[in-house]
Chains A and B, each alone.
Chain A
């Protein structure tokens, strides 16, 4: 039997709205979860603009996993494995709410440098710089197709307060790619 007490403890302790942990991310699943997330946001005091940002970022990260699995040549049974965690955030006096959205999937080493390059660039930019780069990329038509976090990471970065990521090496030229976006009423400076 699954340890439901332990599971519930983890979920309530960290104020997790939902966790998706599986080898089968699908579009239908993402759409259903987005509807659930809409309901959860309605109960928060987040406001419509930040709510739009939460939903956009959730969709962007989930579709990243979906599209990467489809496009990648990773030839093993773990290629579709992905995790998405949505967490409610509260300030100390509970008056300022927000969300954190986490994702994890397995990426090949040759893709790690491409992802790093974009995220390292984003880390050096302020909000105005991100918007500028986003519009440049969208205009150029390069790097914007469904297949990989091209425009997507800039879409996420311009809609949240902060992003964070890491790579954890696995065997055989692969790594876990872990990502976190924090969304509040504030945006990055």
Chain B
């Protein structure tokens, strides 16, 4: 497996996916075509879980703001993680600024939607 790196743009986040078992997504997310933009990300994840020896996976997500189709996309992404949660050790860190209640609420919603996943709410100061 190869590392996938996408530089941040005005409307897409910086993405780094390392086969050793770390994924980070940091920035804003409102692409013109969200599903097209995240296609390589989803493909990378699916390939990751098809390996013979799957390492532990840590996913760090720090979104400043995002559109509703990105919200849907992240739901689908967490869904892939959820499907592989029994066979792989997966930790998700939902990172947000302490003062940003909206970002915190978005993280809380994902925790409620994916009860079996380990999703930690992490404020930036604690990092």
Interface 1/0s, chain B 54-92, versus A by CB < 8 A?
000000000011111101100110000000000000000
Q: What is the size, in residues, of chain B's interface with A at 8 Å between Cβ atoms?
A: 27
Cα of A69 to Cα of B122 in the assembled complex, Å: 39
Separation in Å of the A131 CB from the closest CB of chain B? 7
A138 engages B72 (CB within 8 Å): yes
- Determine the chain B residues whose CB is within 8 A of the CB of A35 once the complex forms: 10
B99 interfacial contact with A, CB 8 Å: yes
| Contacts A/B (CB < 8 Å), 21 sampled | A27-B31, A27-B32, A30-B11, A32-B10, A34-B11, A48-B100, A49-B100, A49-B102, A49-B103, A52-B100, A52-B102, A56-B66, A56-B67, A56-B102, A59-B67, A60-B68, A135-B112, A139-B75, A139-B113, A145-B69, A146-B35
Chain A: interface size category: 20 to 34
Chain B residue at smallest Cβ distance from A131? B109
- Determine the chain B residues whose CB is within 8 A of the CB of A31 once the complex forms: 10-11
- Chain A residues touching B, majority SS: helix
Separation in Å of the B92 CB from the closest CB of chain A? 17
Interface 1/0s, chain A 42-75, versus B by CB < 8 A?
0000011110110110011001001000000000
Binding site for A on B (CB under 8 A): 10-11, 30-35, 64-69, 71-72, 75-76, 97, 99-103, 109, 112-113
Separation in Å of the A146 CB from the closest CB of chain B? 5
B72 engages A56 (CB within 8 Å): no
- Determine the chain B residues whose CB is within 8 A of the CB of A82 once the complex forms: none
B68 engages A144 (CB within 8 Å): yes
B10 engages A151 (CB within 8 Å): no
Cα of A145 to Cα of B65 in the assembled complex, Å: 18
B71 engages A138 (CB within 8 Å): yes
- Determine the chain B residues whose CB is within 8 A of the CB of A56 once the complex forms: 65-67, 102
A138 engages B99 (CB within 8 Å): no
B109 engages A49 (CB within 8 Å): no
- Determine the chain A residues whose CB is within 8 A of the CB of B33 once the complex forms: 146
B101 engages A152 (CB within 8 Å): no
- Determine the chain B residues whose CB is within 8 A of the CB of A79 once the complex forms: none
A155 interfacial contact with B, CB 8 Å: yes
* Residues of chain A from 141 to 163 with CB closer than 8 A to chain B in the complex: 141, 144-146, 150-152, 154-155, 159
- Determine the chain B residues whose CB is within 8 A of the CB of A63 once the complex forms: 30, 32, 67
Separation in Å of the B76 CB from the closest CB of chain A? 8
